[in-house]
Amino acid sequence: MQFTQSRDAETNLSSNMIFWRLSNGVMSGFFLLATFVQRNDPDSLLWMTLYIIPAIFCIIYSLKLCNPGHNILYRSVQLHVAFCLVIALYTIFKLLQINSTGTEPILSWHELEETRELGGLCFIISWLVLNLKFFSSNTARQRQLSRVLATLSVLPILLWMVSYLNKDYQAKLPQHCKTSFQSSVQEMPSLAS
């Protein structure tokens, strides 16, 4: 009986880790894509840095390049979360400032650059915090978190697809957002040549 319980616990831990690694693999793709499209942004260096760092963490996690609970990696994730929180507070301040100037009413918050930036920061912060929680949890909690992470890993990709398929939304985007994919497709070499 003891041997069976031990094997079940080991299987649960293994399936939790598989879900967790796959979720981080998906999110590494999202963060890499987010890094790529930031190159047209007026403050691209900041945003590319903010997105590439979690992409690297997700790649490390998904490929098991080192122990995820390693002190340096754990502290690096915490430091990036703290930095993102500071940038998020600054972005909220900018949004409040825009709202207080009141030159024209803001009907759709999603049309503002700062709101989209804040949304990206929320994805980064929540993803990294959930990963930190995953390692400090017991097996039962890891099972729950691995399912949550698997579900959440699909959310930003679906939201991105909807925003790029919605023509009304695209029409309201600033020019640097509209051309982020088109210019990169034109720059790619043709396979026929």
Q: Which of 57, 65, 26 is nearest to 125 (CA)?
A: 57
C-alpha distances (whole Å) from 121 to each of 14, 35, 50, 51, 160 are 30, 13, 8, 9, 15
Query: Which pLDDT does position 116 carry in this prediction?
Result: 83
DSSP 111: G
Query: Which pLDDT does position 8 carry in this prediction?
Result: 47
* CA dist., res. 123 & res. 120, Å (int): 5
Interhelix angle 2-37/139-165, rounded to 10 degrees, is: 30
C-alpha distances (whole Å) from 134 to each of 68, 69, 142 are 10, 10, 6
Tell me the per-residue pLDDT of 153-171, one tens digit each, with 9 for 90 and over: 888 888 878 877 877 767 6
CB 154 within 8 A of CB 68: no
Tell me the per-residue pLDDT of 36-92, one tens digit each, with 9 for 90 and over: 988 888 888 999 999 999 999 999 999 988 877 788 999 999 999 999 999 999 999
